[in-house]
């Protein structure tokens, strides 16, 4: 029963009184493992999902991230296939700015519903996150993953 209550909190509709931010969620997966890294990139002047999506598509096409600038060092993952995916999301939760040199010390469960609303929950470690994720019954259209991040979730 506790897990159901926790899931309800994670997927509860976002409160209209809060201010949502648009983020580009970048997820890096190492093929053949359960390890992943996720970062949330924010541009203050991009306030609509449509604008984020336009920048995402153009950046992927041009292979140039002038907006949402970031660099992942694939060469450090020797022996692994590295898959990077990007998704524009809305979140009422705020995160520290991303800095490439910070350590990936934070473990989160990332949930994105069918309306691109993001909810992130901090977990103790990847094993706990993976166990929690496996036990969830997610509504149709909701995608979830566990990942390490170097950004702190800011609590108002």
Residue 78 has pLDDT above 80, yes or no: no
| pLDDT at res. 74 | 58
| pLDDT at res. 13 | 42
Among the listed residues 27, 1, 18, the one whose alpha carbon sits nearest the alpha carbon of residue 111: 27
Count of Cβ atoms closer than 10 Å to residue 38 Cβ: 23
Per-residue pLDDT band for 26 (boundaries 50, 70, 90) equals very high
| pLDDT at res. 61 | 96
With contact defined as beta carbons under 8 Å apart, do 3 and 109 qualify?
no
Q: What is the mean pLDDT of residues 58-87?
A: 82
Task: Render pLDDT for 132-144 as a digit per residue (tens, 0 to 9).
Answer: 999 999 999 999 9
- Number of domains into which the chain is organized: 1
In the chain, pLDDT over 90 holds for what percent of residues?
Answer: 67
Q: Which structural domain range is residue 82 located in?
A: 2-154
- Helix, coil or strand: residue 78: coil
| pLDDT at res. 18 | 64
| 75 vs 69, higher pLDDT | 69
């Amino acid at each position: 029963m506790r897990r159901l209550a926790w899931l309800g909190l994670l997927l509860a509709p976002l409160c209209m009184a809060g201010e949502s931010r648009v983020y580009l969620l970048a997820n890096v997966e190492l093929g053949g493992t359960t390890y992943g890294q996720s970062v949330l990139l924010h541009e203050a002047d991009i306030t609509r999902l449509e604008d984020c999506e336009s920048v995402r598509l153009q950046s992927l096409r041009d292979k140039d991230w002038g907006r949402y600038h970031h660099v992942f060092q694939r060469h450090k993952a020797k022996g692994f296939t590295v898959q990077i995916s990007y998704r524009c999301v809305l979140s009422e939760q705020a995160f520290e700015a991303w800095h490439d040199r910070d350590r990936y010390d934070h473990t989160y469960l990332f949930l994105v519903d069918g309306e691109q609303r993001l909810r992130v929950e901090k977990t103790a470690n990847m094993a706990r996150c993976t166990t929690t994720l496996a036990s969830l019954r997610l509504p149709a259209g909701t995608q979830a993953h566990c990942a390490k991040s170097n950004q702190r979730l800011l609590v108002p």
